[in-house]
Amino acid sequence: MIHNISEHLKMQQQVTCYHDPSEHQGSILLNRLYGSSTVFHSLFWPSCMLSGGTLIILMVKLTQYLSILCEQIGKAPK
């Protein structure tokens, strides 16, 4: 592992490091594992699925309510 890092550092003149400012300087990342696009897709698509599922459930409940309301109106004495 150290050899791989050493080879990586020899190949590049300038190296970007990703670190957490709240931690001490001993913990840094040499390569970023996930980019902003991956984070966006990891949050966006599950949110869309949750919203779509909730919308379908609300539409079913609305249909049930309107069906009961229509039945009550049909049975009303004239």
pLDDT tens, position by position, 12-40? 666 666 666 666 666 666 667 788 888 89
8 Å CB contact between 31 and 16: no
pLDDT tens track for 29-75: 666 778 888 889 999 999 999 999 999 999 999 999 999 999 998 88
8 Å CB contact between 66 and 74: no
For the chain, give the mean pLDDT. 81
> Among residues of the chain, what percentage have pLDDT more than 70?
65
- In angstroms and rounded to an integer, the radius of gyration of the C-alpha atoms of the chain is 28
**Confidence label for 2 from pLDDT (cuts 50, 70 and 90):** low
List the domain range (segments joined by +) for residue 28. Answer: 2-75
Tell me, rounded to whole angstroms, the distance of Cα 6 from its chain centroid: 35
Q: How many domains does the chain have?
A: 1
